[in-house]
Amino acid sequence: MIFLYHGIVPDSAPPELWSAGQALPFANFKSHILSLARRFCIVPLEQLLENSQSKRPNTKLLSITFDDGLETTFRQVNSFLGEQNVPATFFVTTDHLEHGRLLWFSYLNALCYETTYESVNVSGDIFPLRTVSQRKLVRRKLSKLARASGDPSQFSNKLKESYPLPNEVTVRYEGMNYEQLKTVGRSTLIEIGSHTLTHPYLSQKSKSEQAREVIESKNLLSELTGKAIRYFAYPGGDYNRDTLQLVKEAGYEAAFATIPLRIGSASEFEIERVGVYSPSLIKLNLKAIGITKLARRVGLRIG
């Protein structure tokens, strides 16, 4: 089993900054890992993938992955993972390496949850941001509009022109920096994988645009870490047959989704993961015993 986390935030972060999104407070993440370590052997992806090919796979092996490559997440978990000797793979989106550049969804998070503005105007529609419930609702609506636009990054950049955010806000949403990636390059516990350049919905991109996302991110991460980039994760779990071909041709050894589409002939490029979005240990344990896979088999799209 492979667990997927996204953001890990400081315990002091207001609940609205994580409860409506894909982030967890560090204390909850720590509880998760300690609980899982009592029941499973947490291993690198390489070992888990090798085990899956054996005639009698060990069902007590588990791997931990993180998507997006958020600086705050790495800063929160790196020391703890080292102390516990827990390996993990970080799938990093490279366009938000330093320089204050935010991924499109990170900008939407900051815009909606940081109370910089009381409302936003999108194509003549006014979205109020005065209350927590309004901010959560607007965040969901903007995400849908971004995807429907066909280019979430362009959608976000256009909003930025009207609603810029101060540096003291954006710094909390930035990606891992160059020094952190170089540090990871010396690590025996942390591995870096690619998560594209800009975190697009790949199926909305042309084949040539997908190729740039798949190949250039791999090359940059390899240069920064000094290591081969063996694994790829599809942003938002979205891909098509062109993506599968490009990932294979780029030299990746495996690629990871959340709910695989099963549209290719090579299963190693459509590997299933189980997303962790709740601080609840009860929900975590249910996922650990396979409730998510069971639900998916009967047609429920559980992340």
Which pLDDT score, from 0 to 100, does residue 294 have? Answer: 82
Residues belonging to the chain: 303
Decide: 235 and 196 in contact? Cβ < 8 Å. Answer: yes
Closest by alpha carbon to 32, among 74, 86, 100, 70? 86
pLDDT, one tens digit for every residue, the chain (303 residues): 999 999 999 998 877 766 556 789 999 999 999 999 999 999 999 999 999 988 889 989 999 999 999 999 999 999 999 999 999 999 999 998 866 689 999 999 999 998 899 999 999 999 999 998 999 899 999 999 999 999 999 999 999 999 999 999 998 899 999 999 999 999 999 999 999 999 999 999 999 999 999 999 999 999 999 999 999 999 999 999 999 999 999 999 999 999 999 999 999 999 999 999 999 999 999 999 988 888 787 776 777
Q: With CA atoms as reference, report the closest residue to 78 among 169, 184, 208, 150.
A: 184
Alpha carbon separation from 247 to 59, 105, 243, 297 (Å, rounded): 28, 24, 6, 26
**Running DSSP on this structure, what letter comes out for residue 2?**
E
Domain with CATH 3.20.20.370 in the chain: 2-100+175-297
The backbone region for 192, taken as left when phi is positive above 0, alpha when psi lies in -120 to 50, beta otherwise, is beta
Q: Token match 């990636």: residue?
A: 181
- Dihedral angle, C-alpha 96, 87, 237, 27, nearest 10 °: -80
Distance CA 152, CA 145 (A): 8
Here the tokens at position 276 are 């962790």
Which long-range contacts does 218-224 make (Cβ < 8 Å, 24+ apart)? 218/194, 218/250, 218/251, 218/252, 220/94, 220/97, 221/92, 221/94, 221/181, 221/192, 221/193, 221/194, 224/178, 224/181, 224/182, 224/185
pLDDT at 21: 60
pLDDT of residue 297: 79
Q: Which CATH class is domain 2-100+175-297?
A: alpha beta
